[in-house]
Amino acid sequence: MQSYRLESFGSLDGLKRVEEQQPVPGRNQVLIRVRACSLNYRDLAIAHGTSTLSPRAGLIPLSDGVGEVVATGDCASLFKNGDRVAGTFFPYWFDGALDSAAGRGTYGNQADGWLTSYKVVDEGSLVSIPDYLSWEQAATLPCAAITAWNSLQQSRPIRPGETVLTQGTGGVSLFAVQFAKIMGARVIALTSNDAKAQLLSTLGADHVINYQRHPDWSVKVCELTQGQGVERVVEIGGPGTLNQSLLSTAPGGEIALLGFVANGDKSIDFMTLFKSGATVRPFSVGSREDFIAMNRTLNMSQLQPVIDKVFKFENAIEAWRYFDSRQQIGKVVISMN
């Protein structure tokens, strides 16, 4: 079988295609023919050596993958041959709160990931994927969709009529717009150009602010909310956006701290934080239970994930380079079909 392994860090030159022996499922495991996987900012950060993690060299990369069960090991009973499944981002986080035990064994960091033809997985680390989604669509779910879902569900679910602020047109942000509208919220979205603004409006964003034209975009957010601010910020920028997010949040509102893709001053203005009355809450994707709950909403709503481009497995390195160029709007997917 064919796999890609990230043999060194610092650039995408460390990503190598290799021939390997097909694995055999053990007790309570299944063998999956991988059909599609998708890229996340985390994968780039690992490859470039800028991640907050301490990854092992030589692993198969990518946290997000889906496929078809083609063999089952002894005592495996949750899935059968032919079932369509997705891996969970944290293979040992089944439910409840995340702790060190639940957070171990993450793909592409501590264990082999999904950029491979066949993969053996503990059956308890898998979920069924919605029938209406293609392999490529389903591959967008394990990290970006669950992260967006939990940013609106934790620490309490967004209520109809509340306002959510999203940032950009990456996978998490676009899922957040779609989920927020399903939940009955009003959405204010930030973006950098008119083409992206049009997509956000098509997905349901009620207001779109161009942050290039309005670098102090919190002023516009406050105008749009009659000075009240928003109840939830889906914060993916981190250092470059957090102070503006604090100024945009209603007292008692929450900033779901998800990423660090925007460069900027890493310091936080204490008085801005203090006066905001906001809760800043870091999030890390979600559990298997969260994935199953989200899938129920997907089946009900028939939400369509936004895919920018699909690459063939043999062109996986090209997919990484395209993703690294930051041209994409939505998810970049690698297909094995």
Same domain, residue pair 216 and 130: no
Q: Distance between CA 141 and CA 294 in Å, rounded?
A: 10
> The domain spanning residue 208 has which CATH number?
3.40.50.720
Q: In terms of pLDDT, which residue wins out, 52 or 333?
A: 333
Q: For residue 162, give the amino acid letter.
A: E
Task: Show Cβ contacts of residue 214 under 8 Å, excluding neighbours closer than 6 positions.
Answer: 220
Which residue, 111, 245, 136, is CA-closest to 190?
A: 245
> The domain spanning residue 313 has which CATH number?
3.90.180.10
In this model, does residue 271 exceed pLDDT 90? Answer: no
Same domain, residue pair 310 and 272: no
Same domain, residue pair 271 and 179: yes
What percent of the chain is modeled with pLDDT above 90? 82
Sign, CA dihedral 122-126-131-137, equals negative
Q: Distance between CA 252 and CA 104 in Å, rounded?
A: 33
Query: What is each CA distance from 182 to 31, 160, 252, in whole angstroms?
Result: 35, 9, 23
Same domain, residue pair 130 and 12: yes
149 belongs to a structural domain:
no
Same domain, residue pair 169 and 257: yes
Total domains, the chain: 2
pLDDT confidence bin for 173, thresholds 50/70/90: very high
CA 199 from chain centre, in angstroms, equals 19
pLDDT confidence bin for 50, thresholds 50/70/90: confident
Parallel, antiparallel or unpaired: strands 2-6 and 15-19: antiparallel
Least trusted range by pLDDT, from 120-124, 238-242, 296-300: 238-242
Least trusted range by pLDDT, from 71-85, 119-133, 236-250: 236-250
85 belongs to a structural domain:
yes
Mean pLDDT of the chain: 93
Same domain, residue pair 139 and 6: yes
The pTM of this model reads 0.93
63 belongs to a structural domain:
yes
Q: In terms of pLDDT, which residue wins out, 332 or 55?
A: 332
Give, in degrees to the nearest 5, the angle at Cα 101 between 86 and 289. 40
Least trusted range by pLDDT, from 99-103, 114-118, 163-167: 99-103
Instruction: Convert the pLDDT of each residue in 126-169 to its tens digit.
Output: 999 999 999 999 999 999 999 999 999 988 999 999 999 999 99
In this model, does residue 30 exceed pLDDT 90? Answer: yes
Same domain, residue pair 253 and 231: yes
249, HSE (Cβ side, Cα atoms, 13 Å):
27
Q: Distance between CA 291 and CA 90 in Å, rounded?
A: 11
150 belongs to a structural domain:
no
Same domain, residue pair 113 and 133: yes
194-223 burial, b if ≥16 CB within 10 A, otherwise e?
eebbebbeebebbbbbbbeeeeebbebbbe
Q: For the residues 257-282, what does the mean pLDDT come to?
A: 68
pLDDT for residue 269: 67
Domain carrying residue 192: 155-282
pLDDT confidence bin for 284, thresholds 50/70/90: confident
In this model, does residue 265 exceed pLDDT 60? Answer: no
Domain end among 260, 282, 304: 282
Give, in degrees to the nearest 5, the angle at Cα 157 between 284 and 305. 65
Helices 171-182 and 146-153, packing angle to 10 deg: 50
Instruction: Convert the pLDDT of each residue in 175-229 to its tens digit.
Output: 999 999 999 999 999 999 988 999 999 999 999 999 999 999 999 999 999 999 9
pLDDT for residue 261: 56
Q: Distance between CA 198 and CA 213 in Å, rounded?
A: 16
Q: Distance between CA 275 and CA 26 in Å, rounded?
A: 55
Q: For the residues 47-75, what does the mean pLDDT come to?
A: 92
Q: What is the DSSP string of 283-298?
A: -----HHHHHHHHHHH
Same domain, residue pair 58 and 113: yes
Same domain, residue pair 131 and 184: no
Domain end among 282, 299, 322: 282
- Neighbouring CB atoms inside 10 A of 156's CB total 10
Same domain, residue pair 41 and 71: yes
Same domain, residue pair 214 and 272: yes
- Neighbouring CB atoms inside 10 A of 94's CB total 13
Task: Show Cβ contacts of residue 176 under 8 Å, excluding neighbours closer than 6 positions.
Answer: 148, 151, 152, 164, 166, 234
